[in-house]
Amino acid sequence: MTADQTTPWPDDDIILYDGVCIFCSSWIMFVAKRDVAKRFRFTPIQSDYGSRLAHQFGIDPNNPDTNAVIHGGIAHFKSDGALTTLSLLPRWSWVRVLLVVPAALRDPVYSLIANNRYRIFGRSDACMVPDASLRDRVIE
pLDDT-based confidence at 2, cuts 50/70/90? very low
User: Is 9's pLDDT higher than 70?
Assistant: no
Instruction: Give pTM, 2 decimals.
Output: 0.87
Greater confidence (83 vs 58) lies with 83
pLDDT for the residue numbered 11: 77
pLDDT for the residue numbered 3: 47
Domain count, the chain: 1
Q: How far is CA 83 from the centre of its chain?
A: 10
Is 104 part of any domain? yes
User: Is 71's pLDDT higher than 50?
Assistant: yes
Is 101 part of any domain? yes
Dihedral, CA of residue 44, residue 46, residue 48 and residue 49, to nearest 10: 30
Is 36 part of any domain? yes
Is 52 part of any domain? yes
Query: What is the spatial order of strands in the sheet that 14-17 belongs to?
Result: 41-44, 14-17, 68-71, 74-77
